[in-house]
Amino acid sequence: MDGTFAYDKFYEMNAESDHGSLVAMSKSINQHRWYRVLSTYTTKLNENWDVDGGIDFRYYKGIHTNKLSDLYGGDYFIDSSSRGNVKTANNKAAAAGDLFVNQKLGIGDVVYRDYDCYVVSEGVFGQVEYSNDLITAFASGSISNNSYWRYDRFYYDKEHAKSEVKNYLGFTVKGGLNYNLNENHNVFGNIGYISRAPFFSMGVFASSATSHTTNPNSVNEKIFSVELGYGYKSRFFSANLNLYRTLWKDKTLARSFDEEDQDGGVLDRISITMTGVNALHQSIEFDFVAKPLHWLDFRGMFSLGDWKWNSNATGYFYDSTGQPVSKIDKLKGEAWSIVYASGIHAEDHASMQLDLKGARVGGSAQTTAALGVDINFTKNIRFGALYNFFGRNYSDWSLSASDLVYNGSKAYESPWVIPAASTVDINGSYSFNIGGVKATLFW
């Protein structure tokens, strides 16, 4: 599979069909509207104390629909896979049975989804800071209410179009302190806790494109972080050494894979949505700048991280249209098909436990280093070079059809390590005057 399509085969297939277009194209229409009111207040109480705060109101509306754009030679299209999941209790039009499910649709008609999502938040924030020659300290916090709801014109009639409004209260608390031991040495520390409202999709709503059903396991994501460090600075050399430990709790993750049919083709794109995923990120970091000569600078850094998933998770299966999957029917001698659950998170909704605890977090190098030099040949000409190293970069874990165990479990070990890599960046600049205006060329 090279990702290309033989569109002439689509036309041949649709021409031979007695049931309209078997393959059609729809265009996904997504419109976004953001509004925000932000007001801040800052005051200096005296030479040591500063206070600021404010309000932050946000409103978001997303309009999402799919409309048929090409029938590939066919006369009509029947969207039975989506319309078959419209329940009479939610939309009276579904009471027509096969007349509704097998309605003949043409260019411009809506398929699969037609809904609006709303996210509204109201928040306040503030910070107080104290500083003198020895100490700089701050404490800050914020609190916000986040409201989510959806309005659906496809799976629900006007009477049931608006979902319930789900509210989540989030907050942040942070504090930090820097103490200057003398003119060369300082120590510092930071601590913070964040309780962040879940995301609209795969967080608040179990299948946000097709259903008002909310995720019963949806809770705020929590982040607790501590950092301690030491700093040194002088005319010729400065450096920082710090350690951090960040615990992420109740993250929401999603993965998808191609479920194959009996002939090895793609039956559908299946996704699994997981909640209650935890991760632990901790690291030691060092950076420095050395100035042995007024025209020569050396700089570098080193970071050694230890990032692991810290819990196991349970996820639920959905097809490509967001419908809950119960199982794949693999009857011998017959075409394989998806069996749908009676409802989202119903007893027959297939789930799977993923044993992630101890597996490495992928997507970012956990060992990084850099070493660079800047040379000022003259007041106007500068040259620089920077070497970067990236190691212990783990691939993110993924699912394949062979991993699929409906109502079972799958254990994951640390994934493949991407080979270490390095880059060299070379840069420079030349400054000059043009008509009394200073200009700089960068390369």
pLDDT in tens, 301-333: 999 999 999 998 888 888 876 778 888 877 666
| CB contact at 8 A, 35 and 58 | yes
Residue 408 is predicted with a pLDDT of: 81
Using the predicted structure, report yes or no on whether residue 261 has a pLDDT greater than 80.
no
Residue 333 is predicted with a pLDDT of: 61
Q: Round the average pLDDT of the chain to a whole number and report it.
A: 91
pLDDT band at 436 (very low <50, low <70, confident <90, very high): confident
Cite the beta strand spans of 310-378 per DSSP E: 313-318, 325-329, 337-340, 351-355, 365-376
Residue 91 is predicted with a pLDDT of: 96
Structure confidence by residue, pLDDT tens digits, 100-148: 999 999 999 999 999 999 999 999 999 999 999 999 999 999 999 999 9
Structure confidence by residue, pLDDT tens digits, 167-208: 999 999 999 999 999 999 999 999 999 999 999 987 898 788
pLDDT band at 400 (very low <50, low <70, confident <90, very high): low
404, 320, 397, 403: which is closest to 357 by C-alpha?
Answer: 397
Structure-model confidence comparison of residues 431 and 408, the more confident one: 431
Using the predicted structure, report yes or no on whether residue 265 has a pLDDT greater than 80.
no
Residue 336 is predicted with a pLDDT of: 79
Using the predicted structure, report yes or no on whether residue 71 has a pLDDT greater than 90.
yes
Using the predicted structure, report yes or no on whether residue 164 has a pLDDT greater than 80.
yes
% of the chain surpassing 70 pLDDT: 97
79, 65, 64: which is closest to 24 by C-alpha?
Answer: 79
First-to-last C-alpha distance (Å) of the chain: 41
Using the predicted structure, report yes or no on whether residue 414 has a pLDDT greater than 80.
no
pLDDT band at 402 (very low <50, low <70, confident <90, very high): low
Residue 340 is predicted with a pLDDT of: 84
pTM: 0.82
pLDDT band at 412 (very low <50, low <70, confident <90, very high): confident
Contact residues for 109 (Cβ-Cβ < 8 A; gap 6+): 67, 68, 77
144, 147, 155, 152: which is closest to 118 by C-alpha?
Answer: 147
Residue 404 is predicted with a pLDDT of: 67
* Distance in angstroms (rounded) separating the CA atoms of residues 363 and 374: 31
Residue 38 is predicted with a pLDDT of: 97
**Per-range mean pLDDT, top range of 204-213, 293-302, 352-361, 428-437:** 293-302
> Which pair of structure tokens corresponds to residue 346?
């119903």
203, 177, 175: which is closest to 191 by C-alpha?
Answer: 175
pLDDT band at 407 (very low <50, low <70, confident <90, very high): confident
Structure-model confidence comparison of residues 299 and 6, the more confident one: 299
> Which pair of structure tokens corresponds to residue 13?
């297939």
| CB contact at 8 A, 301 and 368 | yes
In degrees rounded to 5, what are phi and psi of residue 158?
A: -60, -35
Residue 2 is predicted with a pLDDT of: 60
Residue 393 is predicted with a pLDDT of: 95
Residue 20 is predicted with a pLDDT of: 93
Residue 389 is predicted with a pLDDT of: 98
Using the predicted structure, report yes or no on whether residue 211 has a pLDDT greater than 90.
no
* Distance in angstroms (rounded) separating the CA atoms of residues 34 and 201: 17
Using the predicted structure, report yes or no on whether residue 286 has a pLDDT greater than 70.
yes
pLDDT (average), residues 79-96? 91
* Distance in angstroms (rounded) separating the CA atoms of residues 76 and 103: 9
Structure-model confidence comparison of residues 402 and 16, the more confident one: 16
Using the predicted structure, report yes or no on whether residue 43 has a pLDDT greater than 90.
yes
